[in-house]
């Protein structure tokens, strides 16, 4: 009995020791192979072959590939990568396996379209993906909206965007904004106004908190760009009239050119620099802004969304 207990104890310790040692060794091997990323491998690249091999369980396989696409994009985006070579094939496989997986079209196209590091810089592939989605789900107005959005935002293709918004507006239960967007695109409304309209529509119609946060950040950025343009124009006019730039907003207020101290969308005051430039106080909290950043400012690779969004 005593011997039996000793054997149990010894072999339990050996088992646990080997388990711990194997984990330690595996971690070392992982560190050694850090450069050779296993993520960059698609063992089977043909979506049709994969669909056949799934033996009818293609729904689960599509979910796995979608998760893989999200993980791939997330990790590459986090690294600030300039290339997303596997993203389009992963999305193609996902949507071939499950052509009704709407989330893959909605997010996938938005992963593909923007320029790196915010996306894959492949607006053409994003449009192909949306078109495939529309063919398989012709009554989903959001797919038309997404395609029009990409055509406008990434390619400035007004005619294409107008056309796809018009097609989407005819879908049953389509958001009424699609018809308006189609018209505005056709008449080439101002970029600022158009962009605000698009992001507002996204903000109002999405149920997803991340997409909503992204739309809110873009709307704030548009507001900052407009504010900075107006305030710098004001400072320029002041300089023309007085021969010098205002030293601060208080000087503009004292001259009756401003009613109060202007605030950015986060409630911070803008900074008026001596040469008439206007800057925001917290540029890291205002991703996507085109104006109002200090000279030489480099935005963080991954935009920071605020909890309030």
Quick check: 45 binds another protein (CB under 8 A)? Answer: no
CB of 291 to another protein, least distance (A): 32
Determine if 130 is a binding residue for another protein (CB under 8 A): no
Least gap, CB of 248 to another protein (angstroms): 46
Name which position in 101, 213, 219, 234 contacts another protein (CB under 8 A).
101
52 near another protein, rule: CB under 8 A: yes
Q: Which residues contact 112 (CB under 8 A, 6 or more apart)?
A: 84, 87, 88, 91, 119, 120, 122, 123, 125, 126, 129
Provide the minimum distance between the beta carbon of 107 and another protein in the complex, in angstroms, as a whole number: 6
Instruction: Give Cα separations from 101 to 66, 88, 91, 229 (angstroms).
Output: 9, 15, 11, 42
How long is the chain? 309
* Interacting residue with another protein among 107, 145, 149, 270 (CB under 8 A): 107
Which one of the spans 30-38, 39-47, 94-102, 116-124 is the region binding another protein (CB under 8 A)?
94-102
Which of 50, 66, 181, 222 binds another protein (CB under 8 A)? It is 66
Burial of 54 (0-12, 13-18, 19+ CB in 10 A): middle
DSSP string of 43-93, one letter each residue: S---HHHHHHHTTT-HHHHHHHHHHHHHHHHHHHHHHT-S--TTHHHHHHH
Q: How far is the CB of 101 from another protein (least distance, A)?
A: 7
What are the structure tokens assigned to 19, written together? 């388990």
User: Measured between alpha carbons, how far is residue 224 from residues 84, 185, 196 in Å?
Assistant: 30, 23, 12
Q: Where are the alpha helices (DSSP H) in 170-208?
A: 177-186, 191-205
Q: Which listed range, 35-43, 51-59, 78-86, 266-274, lies at the site for another protein (CB under 8 A)?
A: 51-59
Q: Is 67 in the site for another protein (CB under 8 A)?
A: yes
| Among 58, 130, 163, 225, contact with another protein (rule: CB under 8 A) | 58
Interface contacts to another protein, rule CB under 8 A: 52, 55-60, 62-63, 66-67, 70-71, 98, 100-101, 103, 107, 208, 210
């Amino acid at each position: 009995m005593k011997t039996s207990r000793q054997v149990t104890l010894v072999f339990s310790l050996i088992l646990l020791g080997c388990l711990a040692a194997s984990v330690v060794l595996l971690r070392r091997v992982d560190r050694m192979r850090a450069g050779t990323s296993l993520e960059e491998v698609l063992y089977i690249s043909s979506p049709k072959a994969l669909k056949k091999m799934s033996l009818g369980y293609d729904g689960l396989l599509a979910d796995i590939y979608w998760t893989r696409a999200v993980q791939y994009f997330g990790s590459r985006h986090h690294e600030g990568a300039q290339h997303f070579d596997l993203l389009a094939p992963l999305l193609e496989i996902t949507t071939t396996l499950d052509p009704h997986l709407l989330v893959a079209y909605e997010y996938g196209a938005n992963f593909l379209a923007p320029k790196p590091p915010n996306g894959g810089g492949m607006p053409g592939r994003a449009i192909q993906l949306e078109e495939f989605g529309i063919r398989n789900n012709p009554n989903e107005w959001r797919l038309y909206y997404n395609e029009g959005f990409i055509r406008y935002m990434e390619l400035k293709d007004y005619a294409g965007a107008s056309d796809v918004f018009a097609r989407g507006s005819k879908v049953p239960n389509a958001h009424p904004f699609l018809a308006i967007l189609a018209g505005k695109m056709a008449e080439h409304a101002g970029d600022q106004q158009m962009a605000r309209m698009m992001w507002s529509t996204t903000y109002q119609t999405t149920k997803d908190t991340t997409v909503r946060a992204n739309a809110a950040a873009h709307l704030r950025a548009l507001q900052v760009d407009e504010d900075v343009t107006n305030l710098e124009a004001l400072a320029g006019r002041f300089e023309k009239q007085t021969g010098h730039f205002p030293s601060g907003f208080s000087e503009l207020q004292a001259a009756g050119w401003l009613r109060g101290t202007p605030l950015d969308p986060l409630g911070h005051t803008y900074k008026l620099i001596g040469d008439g430039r206007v800057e925001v106080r917290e540029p890291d909290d205002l991703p996507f802004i085109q104006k109002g950043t200090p000279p030489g400012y480099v935005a963080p690779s991954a935009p920071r969304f605020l909890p309030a969004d």
